[in-house]
Amino acid sequence: MLRAACAAAVGVSCLAGSPAAITLPKPPTDEAVGFSVDDALTLSGVIPANELDVKAVQGIVTMRGTVDNLLAKDDAVKIAKTIHGVRAVIDATKVQAPVRSDDEIRKDVEDALHHDDATTLLQLTVAAHDGKVTVTGKAPSRVEQQAALADAMRIRGVNEVSSNIELVYGGPRSDLEIQADGRRALKMDPSVDSVFVNFEVENGVVKLSGTVGTATEGDRCFDDAWIAGVRSVNADDLKVEPTIKPDLRKRQSPELKTDEQIRSAIADALRYDPRILAEDIVVAVADGQVTLAGTVRHHKSKAEAGSDAKDTPGVFSVRNLIKVRPNTRPSDEHLARDIKQALIRDSRVGCFDLHEAAVSGVVTLSGMVDYSPQRAEAEYLAEQAVGVVEVRNDIHVKYAHGNQPPLSDSLPADPKH
C-alpha cells in the first residue's frame, strides 16, 4: 500500500496538477545492472577489475573473487549499492591479506585506535587470531563504534573484523524523544527522501519501513536511525524500488528557509559530531554561503567540520577558515615518524614507496600509488596525526581514470619504507 501511495505521490509531483498518471520506467535488466557495477568498480580504482566477477539476478548482485585487503572488500560493496537497479548485494569475495603475526596486527590496531580522535579516549581491547580482529569495549554512540571498526579494517594482514563494542548512552530516553530525533535525522539527510520512509520505535527498538531508490540510500537510513537511546534497528521492511528513478522521486527538502536556520543546523551537526570534540568553531551564513572560523586542535577536525557544513540542506558553498592549533606540537621528526608508521601499517597504501616530510607541522606527501583512492587514503592517514596543521598531497597516481594495469602489475609489492 505504501509503495502505491509513493508512486502516486511521484506521479502527481511530476505532472504538476495533471490528473493523468505517469508510466514509471521499467527497471534496468540484470545484464545492464551487472555491466554498470563492473564499470563503476573499474572507474573507482578500488580494486583491479579482473579480480572480481559480478552477476545480477532480479536486482540482487553477487560479487565473487579475491582482494588483498578488507577495505577493498567493503568499498566494493558500497560502490555496487550505489548503482540504480541494485536491490541488494551478496558479498562472496574473499580477503587474502598478507600473513602477519597476531601480535603485530594487535599492536597496529591499538596504535590506530590511539591516534584516532573519535576513539582515543575509549577503553577498548583488541584481540587478533589468524587475521581475525575482535574489538571489545564501550562507546557513547554508533559513530565512535564504527570508527573503531574502520580503524581495525585498515590494518595490513586483517581478514575480518568483529565487534563486541557496547553502546552506552548518557541516560534513558523515551520512545517519543527517539522518534522525534530519528525523523529529524532522516529529514536532514540530503541523501534520503524522508517522505518515503517510516520511522517507528518501541522500547528503544527502531523499525524502518517504506521505499528507497538505491541500496545506498537504505544504508544511509539505517545509519541515521542510530541516534542516542536506540538499542537496535530493523530495516527489513525498507525496500529498494528501482523503478522509481531519483529524478522521479519527490524531493522533500527540509524547510531551512533562513540563514539562521541553516546556521543552527550546522551548529547542531558540529556539536553532536564526536570527531570534532565540541571545539570552538564559529559558523556564519549569508544567502546560503557558509563561513567557518575559530580554532581546532587537529587538522582532521577542520576537514570534518567542513564536511558537516557541506552536508547541511540549504548550503550552497563553504569557506573553511578554521585554524589548526594543536595542544601538543611534536617535533617535525617525530611527526614524520608517526605518519610513516601509519602509512606502513595501512592495508591500502602500506605496499607503496611513499615519503613524508614535516616542516612546522606542514606535512608533504610524495611518491606514487596505483589509484586515486590510495592517494586519498594516504592523505586521510596524515590528517589523523597529532600536530599536523596542513597536508600537501604530492602523491602521483599511476593508473588514472580507471585504467587497469597488466595482471603482473596488480600484485602487491613489499613495503619499502
Asked if residue 272 belongs to a domain, the reply is yes
First to last CA, the chain: 60
User: Are residues 135 and 84 located together in one domain of the fold?
Assistant: no
User: Are residues 352 and 398 located together in one domain of the fold?
Assistant: yes
How many angstroms separate the Cα of 29 from the Cα of each of 58, 60, 216, 248, 406?
A: 8, 11, 19, 19, 31
Range of the domain at 313: 259-324
Q: For position 188, what pLDDT does the model report? A: 80
Asked if residue 279 belongs to a domain, the reply is yes
Poorest-pLDDT segment among 30-39, 64-73, 235-244: 235-244
Cell 604530492 belongs to: 394
309: nearest Cα among 334, 335, 290? 290
User: Are residues 374 and 359 located together in one domain of the fold?
Assistant: yes
Q: What is the CATH number of the domain that holds 201?
A: 3.30.300.130
Q: Given a cut of 80, is residue 252 above it in pLDDT?
A: no
Cell for 61?
Answer: 548482485
User: Averaged over 253-281, what is the pLDDT?
Assistant: 77
User: Are residues 343 and 404 located together in one domain of the fold?
Assistant: yes
228: left (phi over 0), alpha (psi -120 to 50) or beta: beta
Asked if residue 415 belongs to a domain, the reply is no
User: Are residues 318 and 342 located together in one domain of the fold?
Assistant: no
Q: Are the beta carbons of 297 and 279 closer than 8 angstroms?
A: yes
Of 291, 324, 357, the one marking the end of a domain is 324
Q: Which residues pair with 155 in a beta bridge?
A: 346
Q: What is the CATH number of the domain that holds 344?
A: 3.30.1340.30
More confident call, 375 vs 273: 375
Asked if residue 143 belongs to a domain, the reply is yes
Of 248, 272, 307, the one marking the end of a domain is 248
Poorest-pLDDT segment among 203-212, 275-284, 305-314, 321-330: 275-284
User: Are residues 13 and 88 located together in one domain of the fold?
Assistant: yes
Q: Are the beta carbons of 341 and 355 closer than 8 angstroms?
A: no
Q: Are the beta carbons of 277 and 301 closer than 8 angstroms?
A: yes
User: Are residues 6 and 88 located together in one domain of the fold?
Assistant: yes
User: Are residues 88 and 110 located together in one domain of the fold?
Assistant: no
Work out the number of other CB atoms within 10 angstroms of the CB of residue 29: 12
Could you tell me whether strands 132-139 and 124-129 are parallel, antiparallel, or unpaired per DSSP bridges? antiparallel
Cell for 42?
Answer: 573499474
Torsion angle, alpha carbons of 136, 142, 144, 148, to 10: 50
More confident call, 115 vs 129: 129
Can you tell me the distance from the alpha carbon of 365 to that of 392, in angstroms, rounded to the nearest whole number?
Answer: 6
- Report the percentage of the chain scoring pLDDT > 70: 85
Residues 6+ apart with CB under 8 A from 29: none
Asked if residue 91 belongs to a domain, the reply is yes
Of 216, 248, 280, the one marking the end of a domain is 248
pLDDT digits (tens, 9 = 90+) for 9-63: 333 333 333 344 445 567 789 999 999 999 998 888 777 667 889 999 999 999 9
Q: Are the beta carbons of 316 and 338 closer than 8 angstroms?
A: no
Asked if residue 42 belongs to a domain, the reply is yes
Asked if residue 163 belongs to a domain, the reply is no
Q: For position 272, what pLDDT does the model report? A: 76
User: Are residues 140 and 197 located together in one domain of the fold?
Assistant: no
Length reported for the chain? 417
**What radius of gyration, in Å, describes the C-alpha atoms of the chain?**
23
User: Are residues 134 and 73 located together in one domain of the fold?
Assistant: no
More confident call, 26 vs 152: 152
> Which amino acid is it at 206?
V
User: Are residues 389 and 338 located together in one domain of the fold?
Assistant: yes
Q: How many CA atoms lie within 13 A of 276 on its CB side?
A: 23
Asked if residue 26 belongs to a domain, the reply is yes
Q: Given a cut of 50, is residue 79 above it in pLDDT?
A: yes
Average pLDDT value over all residues in the chain: 84
User: Are residues 24 and 62 located together in one domain of the fold?
Assistant: yes
Residue 348, classified by CB atoms within 10 Å of its CB into exposed (0-12), middle (13-18) or buried (19+), is: buried
Domain count, the chain: 5
Q: For position 401, what pLDDT does the model report? A: 56
